[in-house]
Amino acid sequence: MLRYLKQFAGPMPLLAPLMIPIELISHLGRPLSLSVRLFANMFAGEQVTLIFIGLVPLVVPVAFMGLHIFVGLLQAYVFALLHHDVRWRPVSHEH
């Protein structure tokens, strides 16, 4: 735990007052950034599906709905991987 907190201070003790706030903001902002990105991708997919439903009401929207479901599952998988990486990379041990 001490080694993890020590990395917030940066490479030189003189830079610690500058590096600690920057690192804290960086670590707290990553999950927020991932959440906004996931929301924007899901919203854009929904908008594309709604536009095609308005333009071609029969067969094409079914294909886009299937694509939208696939992309949603893929986005959830990528979000889980990125969250795992963000959560566990800082505490990983050096080899």
> Of 26, 30, 35, 37, which residue is the catalytic one?
37
33 annotated active-site? yes
41 annotated active-site? yes
> Of 33, 35, 87, 92, which residue is the catalytic one?
33
Coil vs helix vs strand at 78: helix
Q: Which of 34, 25, 23 is nearest to 83 (CA)?
A: 34
> Of 3, 26, 30, 41, which residue is the catalytic one?
41
Strand residue runs (E) in 1-95:
none
Q: Are 38 and 75 in contact (CB under 8 A)?
A: yes
Query: What residues are labeled active site?
Result: 33, 37, 41
